[in-house]
Structure 1
Amino acid sequence: MGIPYEVIAALSIKEGDEVDFFKYSDMYFLFAKKSDIVKAITSLKVGDGTQARNYAKPPAEGAEITLDSAELSLLKKLDTVKYKDRTESNILGMLSDAEKRTLQSLISKKAVSLFKKDDVARYSITKSVYDKFLFGKRETGTAVKKVNADDKPAVKAPEKKWVSKLKEQNMYADLLEAKGYIVLSNEAEAAGLSSALEESIRMGLVVGTRAFNKKFYVALKGFVTQNAPMLLRIIEKKGVDIATIAKTASMEEDAARTILYLLAESGDVTEVRRDIFKAA
């Protein structure tokens, strides 16, 4: 079956353009030009205040938010809904009366706000609340079923391709949260990570760039800001090769490379020659 002309026209696909097709959520699949996927990832610059950060203002400094089990459960439920689908009508339509009362409680605590843009109101989770209660707290383990000695192993059906891809996306997200950075080889992997961490990217918690070697270097914003000053001191006076930088900083070469490439995007670092960096 061919691709409808309307889709080709809407995406401005021309002869020779590379495209990709992958699962975005349980209900949706995405079809996009690889160049558009590249733009989505590389638009996340360090310190870029213009990216989509339309989340609620945090509570007053020093204020401590506490959530009961019902509020935390609803917060997690909201987080499972893609931001673009988190409209007021959609959310209220899927909540029970009790959950609607809980939602009002979250709003009164400034844990959630109703943000209106282009005449569409969407529920947004406060950044500080997202950091404390949701970010990095994805359940990754699976329950292990106890097998009796007499049970025969079941023949496992071949895993569907999209299921395998979804697991891969979550694996990348878990690795990013564990190490603070990740290096991706192609647009499909980058798009998968973007899908898995949509809320974190929207809030500016995740930044990324594409280097000349065509790989994507993605990191947690906190990982970059924590380690950048140390790397800048190492390369302050002269160009230094990546192996020396990583050894001096006691980190993996790809970790140092990721931070330096991101700093290069903001003009703070120059790659003098391949894998030799100097502070600008």
Structure 2
Amino acid sequence: MLTFFRLLLILFLSVLVLGCHESEETQTQTESDIHIKIPFPKVHIHFDYDESITSHEALDTEAERADYKAKALSEVEKLFDELRERFGFAPDHQIHIQLVDSVSGLKNVANTVVMYNPMTGGIARLTMHFPYEMFEQVSVRAHELTHAFIAPFHLPTWADEGFAVYIENMYAETPQHPIFETLQTEIRRDGAGVNAVQHWTEGSGIYSDVDLTLWCYRYSHTVIDAIEKQWPGTFAKVFETVHPQTTLSTPAFVAVLDGIITDTDMVGFFQKLGFENLR
């Protein structure tokens, strides 16, 4: 009889232990299911250091670099949200930020390099390079992040940089590229007599001239600023109208503006500024 009760007890304990294992397995499976169903936010922004910057006095230890990276990402994400509010959209491509010692040997320059997919026209990779001193300036971060926002639209250089400076100056205590008082009196022309900003290609030909390049930044910004002041909300409509991955020449960009601004002939507006071959 005692043996019988012992057998019953062993059987009971076995069932109890088995039940516990099944319960734990079921719980684990349930947690796994929940984990899979939670949508993870898409990561837009990545931050890293080029080897050349790790000797900087503010970044020469792993702890300093880790702290600075956390601070930098927080600041860029805040700025990202602000620009999303301004533009009414956000890019869905990844944004890579790299802190470097210099850009083309210069510590007072930041840049954004965009690699496009030749098959789709979409962005394969976008990297912003900042020397430490440039990243510390919120206006410079705003300028480069604007490029990241509008890169999918393939705008002419003058429009792309005009937007970037337009946003940059919203964050600058002292604008580096202030607007001109008038567009007509500040025109500079290339060898063909065309407004030099229309065919602006940075760093080549006549545009290797520093003074002319600085003028291009100011003039482009002044054009964007003048249009947005006279016809508020125009550029929000531009980005609603233009399909990303569509390359816009200056004539195509002006045509988009002409379709949005119905009370003014925008082709004539730009022709008065020395732009040509717009129709």
- Give me the TM-score of the superposition, normalised by structure 2: 0.23
Q: Between the two structures, name the one with larger relative contact order (CA 8 Å, sep ≥ 6).
A: 1
Name whichever structure is richer in helix by fraction. Answer: 2
Name whichever structure is richer in strand by fraction. Answer: 1
- Give me the TM-score of the superposition, normalised by structure 1: 0.23
Of structures 1 and 2, the larger Rg is shown by: 2
